[in-house]
Amino acid sequence: MYLHPLSGLTLATALGLAQLPALAAPVQIKAPAELPARATIADAVKASKPSDWRPLDPDNTLYLEIPAGRVVLELAPDFAPKHVANIKALVAEQYYDGLAITRAQDNWVVQWGDPDEKNPKPIQHAQRTLPGEFTVPLTGIKNFTRLPDGDGYAPQVGHSNGFPSARDPKSGTAWLTHCYATLGVGRDNASDSGGGTELYVVIGQSPRHLDRDITVVGRVVAGMPLLSTLPRGTAPMGFYDSPDKNVPIKAIRLAASVPLAQRANLEVMRTDSAAYQAVLEAQRHRGGPWSKVTAGHIDVCNAPIPVREVGSK
């Protein structure tokens, strides 16, 4: 079993030997020293208490049902109140049902919406477009837990109620960061041209250069592989080149409107908990026996947020 992402706790005894450089060079590379054992992410999860977890709020959880199965999306009303309300209104009138995933661009996004641009599906009660909510006043965001680690894209990064996020005290703004699994609102050139009829999910390297430039409304908490393994589109920007390649959306439902027995029974580790600090520390400073070097740093988009069945260990 090679390339363990999460090391165990057994102390390694064998010492690694220095690799003498093959190129003639004046510098000697030091042998990677063995690291002491440290708690892993799995250990941090195991040591957590029930109070370190929160169930998904059924009023802010969506189920995206596609032929391959269910993708569970958590909405972040604090960061995009009008868009979240509008997306819930679109869900309530079953706007998305029968639409399709029309785009899958490698190392970028999967996107869905109305594949019929000529005869767009009518909207009953929701809005088609809204002014962008690219940032919100940071005073409205509670439970921000700041990472001490630096970030190149924002003055401060951390987590707010389970979402990777950033803030700029100078401008008084906060926003959700674009990470793997981030859920955002597609728009055209005008900042008020999106509203939730087109949604995308990040399936690659965090495109942080989109931060503050588009409305982010949440993240995928379960089912990412159903999106990340979709065939990539071959038309420009990863759009599918013919309608028969589109992936149909059977339905998008608010969890609260789904019978209890059919809901995903998931809980998410609270990002303002001590348990989550232990998760971050395990990633930031990995120990032996697999790891020989500790990174000493964590990127906000490399901070895993544990999700599990309610009450599982």
Interacting residues with a copy of itself between 249 and 288 (CB under 8 A): 283-284, 286, 288
Q: Which is nearer to a copy of itself, 51 or 139 (CB)?
A: 139
**Region of residue 69 (left: phi > 0; alpha: psi -120 to 50; beta: else):** left
Rounded CA separation 49/59 (Å): 25
Sorted by sequence, the CB contacts under 8 Å of residue 242 that are 6+ apart come out as: none
**Which residues ranging from 283 to 312 are in contact with a copy of itself (CB under 8 A)?**
283-284, 286, 288-293, 295, 297-299, 301-302
- Residue 164 CB, nearest approach to a copy of itself (Å): 11
Rounded CA separation 159/188 (Å): 29
Decide if residue 125 touches a copy of itself (CB under 8 A). no
- Residue 116 CB, nearest approach to a copy of itself (Å): 15
Cα dist. 159→51, 84, 156, 280, 301 in Å?
A: 18, 19, 10, 11, 10
Site pattern 165..184 for a copy of itself (x: CB under 8 A)? ------xxx-----xxx--x
Q: Which is nearer to a copy of itself, 26 or 50 (CB)?
A: 26
- Residue 44 CB, nearest approach to a copy of itself (Å): 15
Q: Which is nearer to a copy of itself, 93 or 188 (CB)?
A: 188
**Which residues ranging from 188 to 207 are in contact with a copy of itself (CB under 8 A)?**
188-192, 194, 198, 200, 204-207
- Residue 32 CB, nearest approach to a copy of itself (Å): 5
Sorted by sequence, the CB contacts under 8 Å of residue 255 that are 6+ apart come out as: 56, 58, 59, 61, 62, 63, 263, 264
Which of 94, 124, 143, 229 lies at the binding interface for a copy of itself (CB under 8 A)?
A: 229
Distance of alpha carbon 256 from the chain centroid: 22
